[in-house]
Amino acid sequence: MAPISFLQIDKLTKSYGDRLLFGDVTFGINQGDKIGLIAKNGTGKSTMLRIIAGLESPDSGNVIARSGLKIAFVEQKPDLGGEGATPLSACSEFDPATAERMLTQLGITDVNHPVDKMSGGQQKRIAIARALLAEPDLLILDEPTNHLDIAAIEWLEKRLAHANMTLLLVTHDRYFLDRICNKIIEIDLSQIFTYQGNYNEYLRRRQERIDALTGELAKVRNTLRREQEWMSRQPQARAGKAKFRIDNFHELKRRSQLSATDSTANVQLDVKASRIGSKIFEAEGVSKRFGDTIILDDFTYTFARMDKVGIVGPNGIGKSTFIKMLQGIIQPDSGRFDVGETVRFGYYSQDGLHLPPEKKVIDAITDLAEDIVLAGGERHSPMQFLQRFLFSPKDQQKYISTLSGGEKARLHLATVLMQSPNFLILDEPTNDLDILTLGILEEYLAEFKGCLIVVSHDRYFLDNIVDHLFVFTGNGTIKDFPGNYTDYRRFLAETAAAAPKEEKAKKPARESAPKPRKLTFKERKRMEELEQIIERLTNEKATLEETFTSGTPDQINAASIRYEALKSELDDAELEWLTLSEI
């Protein structure tokens, strides 16, 4: 059965000034698609979403939606109403009890609190709740995980993965993409490339595309060299030759100047870290509270060389306050910090850049340093250094106030690393960086010879770079967990599974305790049916997964739609069997 078309994007083109974001792009969105849109910062992801949502116009081309299609759009900075708006008023078009229940599930407990007094993360939760309440045919999300804590991200991830809805989303959260999406669309070289499957499948197929194009370009350039020799001969030596060969030479020359991908122009993070001594950093008996809220209670820890720590915990529990205390920005109520003489902090703040907005990029960086030393000892001027962070000479003349969120994030990172820090403290560094830059930052941090503390809601990022976690559990308690975030989640799951058994073992036997009831004949039959269903669904799941690696695009598309429904059916069957087995 042919998929139902929800939306058709036909020959869409959009430019800003002389900069082409995308040109003549065509693709469709079908019912059941869960699409992740991927591109470098500044190449048109958010613009594409706004055009599809009807909030912005293209230069040319059309967006043709199915009649009556209901679209909900969650922007990066959602509009929730004017002064006096509350979470409940932002959802006023829905039943109040239903709206309050959805808001509570997303962690908004005071539904009458003024929205303008809430954090960015809380406002994002309200916008997501409003969109989910609308039950749209197509849900469009622009960076839905930004400013959410990990618990909220995992709740949303599970909801969207199991929901029977059509999605188009932009996110830098690679686990989110991998667990939700069945199709990836990439904007590259002002074109789009479509990949069936999740994020991991996209990585594999994208590399195949780049390898194939790189091979083709090598052949074009070899042919061009031969034709160049022919063209370089005296005109009389070519007299009478076919005109098409001359035309073909110019076409080869044009093609040889292309690149397999514009992602080859990547941020280069090979900045030298200054030497760090044997004494790093000690915290002893540190406590801090704000009124009745306890941030730290008798915290003691000694940092070792190349210590790489991730900090996790709910929003508002004091993670950012903690790292500001480490640097002396906020003072503790009691206890002490003892910092080694050679320690040089580099702080990437969640609050963003603190450079004069009226200054040009190049002038602001030159004010900070006129000479930057790279890892190999090579020295760069500010102009050369900024080019390593993808600021062309033209971009360096921009005023800081006009930079995009992604450009400001890259500039912020440049200002931190140019100081050659040996103790990096990164507070939510992934919020405005694109996926490609995140991968490069991860590689740099993996090889970083100093100490690292990172606060992040990006589970993939934490898994790749940290050795252990500081887990903020509330009331000033910090638990030091040995392992990355996935290790920690596995530990929590195992602990939760073991808890009922331990509780059961602790209960003393009572003489009057009733005997456990046995399964009825009907329940035993149902268990047998479920075992057959589980076996059948498991086999079908394996077949679909094989299709993802060897099937045609049409087969993969059909398999992706079935795969999402199958996972839900399998989960339900396993849960029902488990419930019956415990009787």
Question: So where are the chain's domains?
Answer: 5-202, 214-264, 281-489, 521-581
pLDDT for res 432: 82
Q: Encode pLDDT of 91-122 as tens digits.
A: 999 999 999 999 999 989 899 999 998 988 89
Categorize the per-residue pLDDT at 252 as very low, low, confident or very high, splitting at 50, 70 and 90.
Answer: low
SS3 184: strand
Do the two domains 5-202 and 281-489 of this chain adopt the same fold? yes
SS3 361: helix
pLDDT for res 246: 62
Alpha carbons within 13 angstroms on the beta-carbon side of residue 41 total 25
- The answer to whether 53 and 71 are in contact (CB under 8 A) is yes
For helices 120-133 and 96-105, what crossing angle results, to 10°?
130
The single residue listed with the structure tokens 């600021």 is: 391
Q: Which CATH class is domain 281-489?
A: alpha beta
Categorize the per-residue pLDDT at 249 as very low, low, confident or very high, splitting at 50, 70 and 90.
Answer: low
Greatest Cα pair distance, the chain, in angstroms, is 113
Q: Answer whether residue 322 shows pLDDT above 70.
A: yes
Smallest CA-to-CA distance from 152 within 130, 128, 136 is with 128
Q: What is the mean pLDDT of residues 168-175?
A: 95
pLDDT for res 517: 59
pLDDT for res 379: 86
Query: Rounded distance, CA 480 to CA 488, Å?
Result: 11
Most confident of 207-216, 369-378, 413-422: 413-422
Query: Rounded distance, CA 465 to CA 444, Å?
Result: 10
Query: Rounded distance, CA 25 to CA 248, Å?
Result: 26
Report DSSP letters for 511-570, one per residue. TTPPPPPPPPHHHHHHHHHHHHHHHHHHHHHHHHHHHHHHS-HHHHHHHHHHHHHHHHHH
Q: What global pTM score does this model have?
A: 0.76
> Which CB contacts under 8 angstroms, 24+ apart, belong to 484-491?
484/310, 485/150, 485/310, 485/312, 485/459, 486/459, 488/312
SS3 434: coil
pLDDT for res 493: 87
pLDDT for res 147: 85
pLDDT for res 251: 59
Query: Rounded distance, CA 330 to CA 320, Å?
Result: 10
Categorize the per-residue pLDDT at 334 as very low, low, confident or very high, splitting at 50, 70 and 90.
Answer: very high
Query: Rounded distance, CA 168 to CA 73, Å?
Result: 9
Query: Rounded distance, CA 565 to CA 241, Å?
Result: 63
Q: Answer whether residue 511 shows pLDDT above 70.
A: no
Percent of the residues in the chain that have a pLDDT greater than 90, as a whole number: 50
Smallest CA-to-CA distance from 558 within 573, 538, 543 is with 543
pLDDT for res 486: 94
* Single-letter residue type at 461: F
Query: Rounded distance, CA 112 to CA 125, Å?
Result: 15
pLDDT for res 181: 96
> Any bridge partners for residue 15, and if so which?
20
Query: Rounded distance, CA 309 to CA 339, Å?
Result: 17
* Single-letter residue type at 421: P
Most confident of 146-155, 178-187, 258-267: 178-187
Which residues have a Cβ under 8 Å from the Cβ of 424 and sit 6 or more positions away?
345, 346, 348, 416, 445, 448, 450, 451, 452, 453, 454
- The answer to whether 22 and 37 are in contact (CB under 8 A) is no
Q: Which CATH architecture has domain 5-202?
A: 3-Layer(aba) Sandwich (3.40)
Q: What's the chain's Rg over C-alpha atoms?
A: 28
Which residues have a Cβ under 8 Å from the Cβ of 542 and sit 6 or more positions away?
none
pLDDT for res 71: 96
Q: What is the mean pLDDT of residues 73-99?
A: 93
Q: Encode pLDDT of 388-441 as tens digits.
A: 888 889 889 999 998 888 888 889 999 998 888 999 999 999 888 888 888 889
Q: Indicate the range of 1-10, 13-22, 258-267, 535-544 predicted with least confidence.
A: 258-267
pLDDT for res 229: 64
pLDDT for res 365: 93
Q: What is the mean pLDDT of residues 20-32?
A: 95
Query: Rounded distance, CA 242 to CA 238, Å?
Result: 9
Q: Encode pLDDT of 477-494 as tens digits.
A: 999 999 999 999 999 988
The single residue listed with the structure tokens 């062309």 is: 392
Query: Rounded distance, CA 106 to CA 87, Å?
Result: 11
Angle at 166 between CA 163 and CA 172, to 5 degrees: 90
Report DSSP letters for 267-330, one per residue. ----BPPPP--S--EEEEEEEEEETTEEEEEEEEEEE-TT-EEEEE--TTSSHHHHHHHHTTSS
Which residues have a Cβ under 8 Å from the Cβ of 152 and sit 6 or more positions away?
106, 107, 121, 125, 315
> Which CB contacts under 8 angstroms, 24+ apart, belong to 16-22?
20/190, 21/47, 21/48, 21/187, 21/190, 22/48, 22/187, 22/190, 22/191, 22/192
pLDDT for res 431: 85
pLDDT for res 275: 77
- The answer to whether 420 and 159 are in contact (CB under 8 A) is no
Rounded mean pLDDT of the chain? 85
Query: Rounded distance, CA 273 to CA 256, Å?
Result: 39
- Phi, psi for 98 (deg, rounded to 5): -65, -40
Q: Encode pLDDT of 446-470 as tens digits.
A: 888 899 999 999 999 999 999 999 9
Query: Rounded distance, CA 141 to CA 139, Å?
Result: 7
For helices 553-581 and 521-550, what crossing angle results, to 10°?
160
pLDDT for res 565: 76
Q: Answer whether residue 373 shows pLDDT above 90.
A: no
Percent of the residues in the chain that have a pLDDT greater than 70, as a whole number: 87
Which residues have a Cβ under 8 Å from the Cβ of 450 and sit 6 or more positions away?
273, 276, 305, 306, 421, 422, 423, 424
pLDDT for res 231: 61
Q: Answer whether residue 245 shows pLDDT above 60.
A: no
Smallest CA-to-CA distance from 360 within 398, 405, 407 is with 398
Q: What is the mean pLDDT of residues 41-49?
A: 89
Q: Answer whether residue 294 shows pLDDT above 60.
A: yes
Q: Encode pLDDT of 515-564 as tens digits.
A: 555 667 677 778 888 888 888 888 888 788 777 667 776 777 777 778 77
